[in-house]
Amino acid sequence: MPQTSDIDIVDLNTLLPQTLPNRSGPGTKGRVTTAERLSIQRAYLLHPEGSIAFLAKRFNRRKDAVRRCLEGADYDALVAEVHAHIQSDVHTVLRQEAVNAARKWAKTAVNVAADKGDHKPAKDLLIAGKYVDTENAVPQIVVQVGIKLEGHPE
């Protein structure tokens, strides 16, 4: 079973044979070596053109032989490993971009909303940064009532 560090998503052409193996003789297209099975599985999961028809042609195998490589416990384990690796890469990218996203939001969304008279994004930013004490804050409400009294100018 390959380790996570063995999965190279950048250079996927290394998974595909550069020359077609000679499959002469009866029944040889159906027999797949363990190494070839793993290469087919990895190419199917990682190569952008990794369809069954594409891999059958590249590995000089019948489609049903390729299909059989894509089932079983070893394939299920590889799928889980590849997905975990991809998920880890996605989380790394998101962590790296979080600061940029926060900067852009703080500069753009807060200013655009404020220009429209909506100061909620600015307030949310201050609350999220714990710059404003919302637990002990006393709401400040001023009520002005206009009553016209006799004898007073308007």
From first to last of its 154 residues, what are the pLDDT tens digits of the chain?
444 445 554 455 566 665 555 555 555 555 788 889 998 999 999 887 889 999 998 888 999 999 999 999 999 999 999 899 889 999 999 998 988 888 888 788 888 888 888 888 888 888 888 887 777 766 667 666 777 777 766 6
Q: Give domain status of residue 149, yes or no.
A: no
154 assigned to some structural domain: no
* The total number of structural domains that make up the chain: 1
The count of other CB atoms within 10 Å of the CB of residue 69 is 22
Kindly state whether residue 56 falls inside one of the protein's structural domains.
yes
Task: Kindly state whether residue 97 falls inside one of the protein's structural domains.
Answer: yes
DSSP 3-state of 37: helix
Residue 29 resides in a domain: yes
* 3-state SS, residue 130: coil
Q: Do the domain assignments include residue 142?
A: no
Two structure tokens written together for 56? 């059958």
Displacement of CA 95 from its chain's centroid (Å): 11
Q: Is residue 89 part of a domain?
A: yes
Q: Is residue 144 part of a domain?
A: no
* CA–CA distance, 16 with 19 (Å, rounded to integer): 9
Domain carrying residue 56: 4-125
Centre a 10 Å sphere on the Cβ of residue 55 and count the other Cβ atoms it contains: 25
How far apart (Å, rounded) are the C-alpha atoms in residues 23 and 65?
13
